[in-house]
Amino acid sequence: MSDALPSYLEQSEAVRARFRRLHARDVILSVRDLGKTFRSRERETEALRGISFDAHRREFLCVVGASGCGKSTLLRILAGLDEQTGGDVLLSGKPVRGPGADRGMVFQGYTLFPWLTVKRNVMFGLEMNGHGKNEAEREALQWLDLIGLGKFANAYPHQLSGGMKQRVAIARALANQPRILLMDEPFGALDAQTRARMQTYLIEIWRKIDITIVFITHDLDEAVLLADRILVLKPHPGEVQEMIEVPVPRPRGPGLHLSPEFLATKARLEELIHPASDAEDDGLTLDLPRLVQVGDDVD
């Protein structure tokens, strides 16, 4: 596995300097030869095989791959919600043995407690970790101000839009000041406009706090927009295919989707995840009987 951008696009000196700074930072997360096999009485299914990579302090790392490549399984293992069958996961040099306050998790679904106010949802983890009520309330309000929802502190989840709910979920995950934030397609259920706003919010939050983010997505535009590096997994079982350093300069604003760096990186991801030979393998060329009148064409 190479950490260098493949030869399809040359890096500028500014981009090379950015990645020299990234690699000079401490390694927060280290994954070594990780494997996961699901076993039942009838069969064994190998989901992950030989996954190895590092994530550095304050890095934004996206994980992409075809459906069924084990992205969510990998994230659950990193969170301590599932156990690997081989290999090691080290967080700040210590083995991961179950969930911990050093990791925050945000799911695609809205996981807020509907019977608690926005403020109490953010306070929940703080109180569970031993903070007094007054301290937890003060910190919760600070996080809500950071994500722009301070005036909704006393609202209930059903009174919020989808994007607002996910902002609260992010604040709740960050309130315990974890070393790493794990996000499993958190914007996948949002409409396009809300998703774009949430991406902007997340980048701003990431810039302001000391956090490493591992972000699962199936959206290649989202991966290129957000990530410092993109880990590409092969499917069946999930294996590391390539680690791509994203050459798109930061800060990333409007118009970057048309930049040569963005387009070339996305094209490389498409090439890796959806090779041309897959069209035949997936049965996309279908031999169907004609069910409309001759001459009634839509070409």
* Bond prior to 186 in cis (omega within 30° of 0): no
Q: Among 177, 192, 215, identify where a domain stops.
A: 177
- The pLDDT profile of the chain, 299 residues, written as one tens digit per residue, is 444 444 445 567 777 888 888 888 999 999 999 999 998 888 889 999 999 999 999 999 999 999 889 999 999 999 999 999 999 999 999 999 999 989 999 988 778 999 999 999 999 989 988 889 999 999 999 999 988 899 999 999 999 999 999 999 999 999 989 999 999 999 988 899 999 989 998 999 899 899 999 999 999 999 999 999 999 999 989 999 999 999 998 888 777 888 889 999 999 999 999 887 665 555 555 666 777 777 777 66
Say whether both 259 and 131 belong to one domain.
Answer: no
Residue 299 lies in a domain: no
Asked if residue 293 is part of any domain, the answer here is no
User: Is residue 169 domain-shared with residue 184, that is, in the same domain?
Assistant: no
CATH code (residue 88): 3.40.50.300
Are residue 47 and residue 68 in the same domain, yes or no?
A: yes
On whether both 80 and 15 belong to a single domain, the answer is: yes
Q: What is the pLDDT of residue 284?
A: 54
CB atoms within 10 A of CB 214: 25
Looking at the fold, whether 187 and 155 belong to one and the same domain comes out as no
Number of domain units in the chain: 2
Give yes or no: residues 256 and 118 share one domain: no
Q: Is residue 225 part of a domain?
A: yes
- Is position 125 within any domain? yes
Statement to judge: residues 96 and 119 lie in one domain: no
Q: Classify residue 295: in a domain, yes or no.
A: no
In sequence order, which residues have a C-beta less than 8 Å from that of residue 58 and are 6 or more positions away? 25, 206, 210, 211, 212
For residues 204 and 160, membership in a common domain is answered with no
Domain check: are 172 and 188 in the same one? Answer: no
End position of a domain, from candidates 177, 206, 237: 177
173 with 188, same domain: the answer is no
Same structural domain for residues 200 and 269? yes
> CA 261 → CA 53, 217, 282, distances in Å?
24, 20, 30
The b/e string for 266-289 (b: 16+ C-beta within 10 A; e otherwise) is bebbeebbeeeeeeeeeeeeeeee
d(CA 91, CA 74): 14
Does residue 35 contact residue 51 with C-beta atoms inside 8 Å? yes
CA dist 79 and 84 (Å) reads 11
Residue 77 and residue 36 in contact, taking contact as beta carbons nearer than 8 Å: yes
Query: Is there a domain that residue 283 lies in?
Result: no
Q: Is residue 37 part of a domain?
A: yes
Q: Are 9 and 235 in contact (CB under 8 A)?
A: no
Q: What is the domain extent for residue 162?
A: 109-177
Sequence letter at residue 206? W
> Given 177, 204, 222, which residue is the final one in a domain?
177
Contact 121, 168 (CB under 8 A): yes
Does 242 fall in a domain?
Answer: yes
- For residues 267 and 241, state if they share a domain: yes
